Structure 1
């Protein structure tokens, strides 16, 4: 009996030894066969590459000394990983065994795997992958092979999201709420708000939009023709990667979810937020998700909400509507319009309503030391983000106001005050009297007066026109509305002013209509090149801003010249600026048919709010399409070139550029193109 057990154990050992030998032999044969997949460099060089990427100049210089790097190729990931998004991959997140609260969508937020679980290989394209269809045709159709998720077409067939036709997926422009087209739905929202000609951009005053639960982003896609850019947001959920459809279509989009962490955008970034059947429980956790939208909306910004709760009469929907209405009322939102299945709320313009609430009213105001622009990995808070004291009109701000009085003038020029530029304002035709005295409130950049007379809607972008308009209609002899005790004795003596003329504005008017520094923006496209009001937060001058804009205009022109041999006007659509600073790279691409995802590193100056104030979009990220532009020292560029063939990248062009006003040293610009490459499985799928 004992002998039998011993024989059995010996046989098992033989089997295991045999299995181990076969396995080792297989691994050896595989590595010999795919020897070109090995990376032939030492650990020292690898460390240098990593540190120079994450670190500073010293690390980069250290890497220059080692010229022994020889890279043949990188290993290719399994074909099943063609859509891998490491920190948002549901399978990887599941393997981490994290205790995540599914009820608050925590499992759809970023959870990066440990280093030992990360894939150090190149992501292959899906089988049968084709070069994407070019914009603007791509808005309405993409290759089916590029995004193999046709089940979504069947699931949403009654909602006109998408239709499979042969080897393409067609997007008719429908959605869960707007079966007959996003364009008609967008026009209806503009009509509800009384905007001229049913155009939602309202003369350029609605520019940045957040679309929550965007589906395949047809709403954002159809906004582009109105010069509105939307950040279309959706998670990698049961519908799989809807954002991949959006990006394949050439529509700005971002993988994300309203869960437990703040969205990666600064406060006061959007003029309008939108939710159409987005299936979000806005009442959960004391309204924390609505309060996150409140943080992101500009003063006077809108939230357009299309959902059964806005119109249905069953008991549950009525309950939700009552509770939601009570919540937004305590948040000081007002109903701007309500029609059929859509309600539009508007955010207050000032802190006044917050200050007038009863003590203990919920939700509370956020703590004064809470930074509303800190977003990377920061938990949401169930509180209202007020406008800071220095951003509201009051006695302390009055010392910054300059009153200029003019007589016998047909054109009026506001002279420079601190960082503001010179602005010429044409005399309003309604003012006929030559002797009219004019006092201009110069606390915000002042632009054309005429626009204020065109519309009854006063959005945040228009309100600074009211300052001009009211001033022009006032005469110096009418002292009844003057603010007592505030005098400006030196009003351009050459124009024979009244020596003790005081500011020609009632204080109540200023308190009601003066905006925070994050609004009062010029209409699009003027705001793209106007100094953002929040420059002062960084101590930047308008001169610095103008210089940065000019430098990047020159640089982008040079980049485009290098690209010219390889591209046509429709070759490039989706662009990422990995270190966007003030967004001047994106601004320089204004006349190209592209959109730019501006990325601001989370460990640097949070200049993303300047980017949004310019009417651009972007995100914060911790680093990390077709073309890559590297501008650096020549030695760094040469080091990068060694890796191109291993990554299936190709050098488009290299050019040495002379020092400019931003750089004292000469740089080298390297333009790279990612080539289309297919695995053997991909080739079989395309046959």
Structure 2
């Protein structure tokens, strides 16, 4: 209480008759406490609020009265504190925005940065037309909501979703007809059924993975993150989950249409992508294994450009698995309808390139071959001239991968002195890897991030996720399978929700001061780089829950916030949920935008309580 207020209280206490002194003192103290609480809540981060001051009503104390886990009603539902609704607690000085309309029906499967109409503007050589080509904001992209396909239904919960999906949700008969003979997918009534077959999975994907486990240590926890290039409908990645292995399945939008959408509809991690002229949007040393099953990529073409990219994203000691042509060509070429000499030369070229990269061939059985990347490059550097190895990349950061062109050079590894050591440090096996200190932190390779920060973040996100559960009771019950963290940081949120039957796409915005995606991968998690002024490389209705921590503050001076909200709406499944975490000023603005999309949302306190400026916008579109 200020000196002036204290002096005034003392004077009034002396002047008034004694029976009234105690009442007045209590009343004055209450008013002073309310004013102090209000000012503390608004100015605690030294920034003025955009919310106008409220005219206090009788009994009012703090204007930021919100729904709270402690205010649960007798029926177990979260209640509101009695004096204000969320709307009254956080008034805005502008009238409500008009509702945003739905786009025309032909936008049902709209992918802004992978639009087949825009693809025609780019050369087909090197598959450049299949890469990301986002609309120019100056062209005023349509500001409308992507509509549902007719007959859309809520997807099956995991793990039932791995084997079947509603045809109405991904109504692409072309893929099911084209791949029916290969046993990829078939239509049974209202269902799409995924038996786990495929071009290279003649005996089923389960058999295929079992055979792979005889050549690669899938069961030990050494392999946790896998990159599957040309993934089809991602049955391979889906069945690696039985081994507690997380696969980033990547495929372009091609003649088979929505392969990635099929994968995500089934609850399997996937995103649109292609090996063309730009690096894949992942840091170096990300994956324990890379896989290609009959993906028809010219691995030795363009001076080995594509295999050099695989080398960049493979961790030291990681595995590359190639199945299908030209592997085991002596026994298979007739069935492929290929000429003997042609496939023989193709495999010889792959073997030669792998040797020049210092990869060691581990095995070749049936139609599957396995190579292993060296744990460091000391031995390779000594023999590089003899092997005629590609030069080492000197001009670019190996982790730089957002619209960064590939180059025909070997990405360097962290330096070391001892031949027996692993460049960048050893990773512990899964599941200990999740909470072990990542080697990048041990090496202090990221400025301003320490081991202490990492441990603090883990504890902090465990507390935050526990707080989230009070508002999204379905989080631990398996309703949300596909989750996106729009600003993943060190992966603390994903680690905290890993106790649930979910997977998380950890996104590290390219606008971040620190590139932490390498740490995310070293924890045994997956993710990608992203600029949220653009659209994500996925189909509509592919995520059940979106988490946005500080994203809107990061981008409010870079692009229109409504474009980010519309992208979230495009990605989010009907009935899905979102958690927006930000400063109250920003949250109020975002609430206006979500109201224009008819989202069911409310502003609540974070776990820091009513006097902290950071608030949450909880979106639960299952509430009607």
Q: Give the TM-score, by structure 2 length.
A: 0.75
**Alignment pair present for 1:576 and 2:523:** no
Structure 1: 5+ residue runs without aligned partners? 1-56, 395-509, 678-687
1:671 is aligned to 618
**Alignment pair present for 1:286 and 2:303:** yes
Q: Secondary structure at the match of 2:106?
A: helix
Q: Secondary structure at the match of 2:385?
A: coil
Structure 1 residue 638, shift from structure 2 partner:
2.9
1:249 is aligned to 266
Structure number with bigger Rg: 1
Structure 1 residue 636, shift from structure 2 partner:
2.8
Q: Secondary structure at the match of 2:470?
A: helix
Q: Distance in 2 between matches of 1:372 and 1:236?
A: 27
1:126 is aligned to 149
Contact 2:356-2:384 at 8 Å conserved across structures:
no
Structure 1 residue 190, shift from structure 2 partner:
1.3
Residues 595 and 240 of structure 1, relative CA distance in 2, 3 Å threshold = same
**Alignment pair present for 1:235 and 2:252:** yes
Q: Distance in 2 between matches of 1:110 and 1:62?
A: 39
Q: Secondary structure at the match of 2:593?
A: coil
Cα deviation, 1:329-365, whole Å, max 9, x if unaligned, reads 1111111010111110111111123212253854423
2:233 is aligned to 216
Contact 1:271-1:297 at 8 Å conserved across structures:
yes
Cα deviation, 1:122-180, whole Å, max 9, x if unaligned, reads 10111111111111110001000000012211111121101100001000111210122
Residues 154 and 61 of structure 1, relative CA distance in 2, 3 Å threshold = same
Structure 2: 5+ residue runs without aligned partners? 1-45, 53-89, 331-339, 533-563, 565-571
Structure 1 residue 65, shift from structure 2 partner:
10
Structure 1 residue 373, shift from structure 2 partner:
0.1
Q: Secondary structure at the match of 1:70?
A: coil
1:528 is aligned to 434
Equivalent positions of 1:478-489 (< 5 A) are none
1:538 is aligned to 446
2:127 is aligned to 105
Residues 554 and 676 of structure 1, relative CA distance in 2, 3 Å threshold = closer
1:640 is aligned to 590
2:382 is aligned to 356
Structure 1 residue 192, shift from structure 2 partner:
2.0
Structure 1 residue 369, shift from structure 2 partner:
4.3
1:328 is aligned to 354
Q: 1:553 aligns with which of 453, 459, 462?
A: 462
1:371 is aligned to 397
Greater relative CO (CA pairs within 8 A, separation 6+): 2
Structure 1 residue 639, shift from structure 2 partner:
2.9
Q: Give the TM-score, by structure 1 length.
A: 0.68
Structure 1 residue 547, shift from structure 2 partner:
0.3
Contact 1:267-1:373 at 8 Å conserved across structures:
yes
Q: Distance in 2 between matches of 1:611 and 1:556?
A: 18
Residues 83 and 515 of structure 1, relative CA distance in 2, 3 Å threshold = same
1:261 is aligned to 278
Q: 1:617 aligns with which of 526, 535, 547?
A: 526
The CA RMSD over aligned residues, in Å, is: 2.4
Q: Distance in 2 between matches of 1:345 and 1:80?
A: 45
Q: Secondary structure at the match of 1:563?
A: coil
Size of the aligned set, in residue pairs, is 488
Q: Distance in 2 between matches of 1:59 and 1:91?
A: 46
1:225 is aligned to 242
Structure 1 residue 670, shift from structure 2 partner:
1.9
1:458 is aligned to none
2:510 is aligned to 602
Residues 269 and 60 of structure 1, relative CA distance in 2, 3 Å threshold = farther
Cα deviation, 1:586-642, whole Å, max 9, x if unaligned, reads 000111001000000012121000000000000000005321101223333233222
Contact 2:469-2:476 at 8 Å conserved across structures:
no
Q: Distance in 2 between matches of 1:59 and 1:377?
A: 38
Q: Distance in 2 between matches of 1:359 and 1:276?
A: 32
Structure 1 residue 71, shift from structure 2 partner:
1.8
1:79 is aligned to 105
**Alignment pair present for 1:341 and 2:367:** yes
Q: Secondary structure at the match of 1:582?
A: coil
Cα deviation, 1:104-126, whole Å, max 9, x if unaligned, reads 11101011122325221110111
